[in-house]
């Protein structure tokens, strides 16, 4: 007779239909090494596979950085490791890259993945800390020949509903890059004033409906209804913008959701403060003649980077800097929709 206490065999979730919608059902996309055909097909359709991140402007970055074997480099945001891997390959086994990331979950996965591809601790050191600590690492290693700062949030974080980065799927309203530190976006909204929230939405994402949204969100919280899930926040936005003409409503709501989530993400992760600190410390971390490229994804970041590089050039800190932004090609934007808002700026440290 069969043992009644035997643990029943748990079947894996079926890959429902051609394109399953739920993140956890996309097990083929979440195992890129095993299901290469599926990954290739998803990318070919102009989409990013679940749990993966497609690196942006790799050729343009490498063309500018001119990495040579034996050099020391810094990758400010390790993420999925696509840029890191491309730069490591340029070193040809000689030299070293130091990379920072505040996400303990994704950085551990990336470190393991890169080690399996031959890039171990002899050539790559991953620091679980914020990239604004670049001065501490530079002091230890004697400065950097090349630096990359890709300021975008990785697709792995956006796509995973448990992280709360996307308004498209239900999940906790978290938005922290490191869920072990700081407070979530939901906790931030618990105590925020109407004026402060309106200011945040305007300053962090140029939201035109910032006043109406701030009133609606804080009114809801004052009634004792916590805004603690992505769906609750999206519904408040939808209800607030219900007055819009029908032909404009859908697109405006989508863009307002994107801007609202972006503004909260910037706030809970202190992204502007961190970037400002990084730009201040950047010249001291670069060796004479060292090169830096920075990818930004919204106007607030780009203005801050542009101003810092321009001031550095005028002060003689940089011998050259990007007076105009470099944009991804039309072909790259067609293959990767998340590349469309990217702007690349660069500078060369004076000798």
Ligand-binding annotation for 101, yes or no, is: yes
Residue 129 assigned as binding residue: no
Residue 159 near residue 168 (C-beta atoms within 8 A): no
Helices 194-205, 299-314: axis angle to 10 degrees equals 60
Q: Is 83 among the annotated ligand-binding positions?
A: yes
- DSSP, collapsed to helix, strand or coil, labels residue 155 as helix
CB contact set of 33 (below 8 Å; sequence gap of 6+): none
In the structure encoding, which two tokens stand for residue 55, read together?
């690196």
Tell me whether residue 289 is annotated as binding.
Answer: no
Tally of CB atoms within 10 A around 250? 11
Cβ atoms 94, 88 nearer than 8 A:
no
Give the position of tokens 């097909």.
Answer: 41
Least Cα distance to 241 among 219, 210, 265, 264 occurs for 210
Is 209 annotated in a binding site? The answer is: no
Q: Is 14 annotated as a binding residue?
A: no
- Known binding residue 95? Answer is no
Encoded tokens for 82: 């696509």
Of the candidates 130, 66, 70, which has an alpha carbon nearest to the alpha carbon of residue 99?
130
What are 330's two structure tokens?
Answer: 């039309």
Binding residue ranges for S-adenosyl-L-methionine: 81-83, 101, 131, 150, 157
Binding residue ranges: 81-83, 101, 131, 150, 157
């Amino acid at each position: 007779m069969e043992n009644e206490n035997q643990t029943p065999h748990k079947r894996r979730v079926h890959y429902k239909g051609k394109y399953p919608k739920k993140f956890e059902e996309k097990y083929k996309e979440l195992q890129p090494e095993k299901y290469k055909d599926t990954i290739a097909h998803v990318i070919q359709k102009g989409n990013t596979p679940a749990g993966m991140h497609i690196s942006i402007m790799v050729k343009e970055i490498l063309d500018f950085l001119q990495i040579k074997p034996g050099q020391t480099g810094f990758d400010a945001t390790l993420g999925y490791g696509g840029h890191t891997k491309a730069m490591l390959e340029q070193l040809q086994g000689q030299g070293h890259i130091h990379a920072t990331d505040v996400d303990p979950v994704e950085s551990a996965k990336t470190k393991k993945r890169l080690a399996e591809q031959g890039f171990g601790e002899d050539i790559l050191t991953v620091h679980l800390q914020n990239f604004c600590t670049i001065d501490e690492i530079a002091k230890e290693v004697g400065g950097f020949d090349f630096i990359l700062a890709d300021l975008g949030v990785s697709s792995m974080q956006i796509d995973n509903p448990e992280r709360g980065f996307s308004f498209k799927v239900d999940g906790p309203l978290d938005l922290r890059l490191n869920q072990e530190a700081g407070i979530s976006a939901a906790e931030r909204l618990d105590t925020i004033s109407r004026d402060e929230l309106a200011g945040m939405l305007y300053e962090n994402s140029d939201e035109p409906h910032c006043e109406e949204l701030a009133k609606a969100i804080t009114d809801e919280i004052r009634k004792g209804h916590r805004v603690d899930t992505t769906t609750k926040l999206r519904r408040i936005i939808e209800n607030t913008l219900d007055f819009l003409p029908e032909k404009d409503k859908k697109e405006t709501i989508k863009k307002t959701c994107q801007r609202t989530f972006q503004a909260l993400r910037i706030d809970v992760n202190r992204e502007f403060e961190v970037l400002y600190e990084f730009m201040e410390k950047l010249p001291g971390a670069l060796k004479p003649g060292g090169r830096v490229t920075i990818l930004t994804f919204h106007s607030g970041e780009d203005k801050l980077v542009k101003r810092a590089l321009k001031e550095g050039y005028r002060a003689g800190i940089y011998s050259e800097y990007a007076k105009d932004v470099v944009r991804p090609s039309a072909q790259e934007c067609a293959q990767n929709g998340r590349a469309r808002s990217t702007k690349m700026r660069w500078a060369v440290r004076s000798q």
